[in-house]
Amino acid sequence: MDNDKIHKTLHVLQARCEKHKEPSDPVANTRFDTSPTNPASKSPDEMTFGFQPFALLPSAISNLPEARIVNRLDAKDALAYAELVMTERHNATHTPWHPQVGDLVYVRRHKGYQVPPKIHHKFGAQHTGPFKVVDPGCRRAQKQHPAKI
């Protein structure tokens, strides 16, 4: 195969790869780089070394598609295992709590509300209460009234 045919084939191959966002074929690139030119009728390797070296690239990447599939499956398994471990750790440390009628709760204070400080003016209360739950409602909104403690 002469250099012109290889060049045309490589051009079509690269255009197809750019269209589908795939990497171009390294075997075709290597064959194009080491193909004999028309005037010299020798490859660059033959001109440099005096002989055509054995092409190791095709044998090195012959299992590349299978290796990609195996690597993707390994990554998928690793992600699934990590998700499982994170779920178990979260469930072990975070226990949901739903207040019932009569429970005493402290309410987190918003920055806009002020509570008279008991210790120092720089130390403001972050929670107020305790309040007795009158109607549980949903998780974040309960009807409460101050407890008489």
Give the residue, 120 or 20, on which the prediction is more confident.
120
In tens, the pLDDT along 79-104 reads: 999 999 999 999 898 887 777 888 88
Q: Which two tokens stand for residue 62?
A: 């012959």
pLDDT at 55: 62
Give the total number of structural domains in the chain: 3
Residues 85 and 75 in one domain: yes
Choose between 112 and 1: higher pLDDT.
Answer: 112
Q: Which of 147, 55, 63, 66 is nearest to 107 (CA)?
A: 147
Residues 78 and 114 in one domain: no
Q: Are residues 122 and 67 in the same domain?
A: no
Q: Which helix (H) or strand (E) holds 148?
A: none
Please check whether residues 11 and 46 belong to one and the same domain. Answer: yes
Q: Are residues 115 and 141 in the same domain?
A: yes
For residues 22 and 137, give the distance between their C-alpha atoms in angstroms, rounded to a whole number.
56
Query: Is the domain of 36 the same as that of 25?
Result: yes
On whether the CB atoms of residues 6 and 35 are closer than 8 A, the answer is yes
Whether 47 and 78 share a structural domain: no
Q: Are residues 37 and 76 in the same domain?
A: no
pTM for the model stands at: 0.34
Cβ pair 126, 117 in contact under 8 A: no
Range of the domain at 68: 63-95
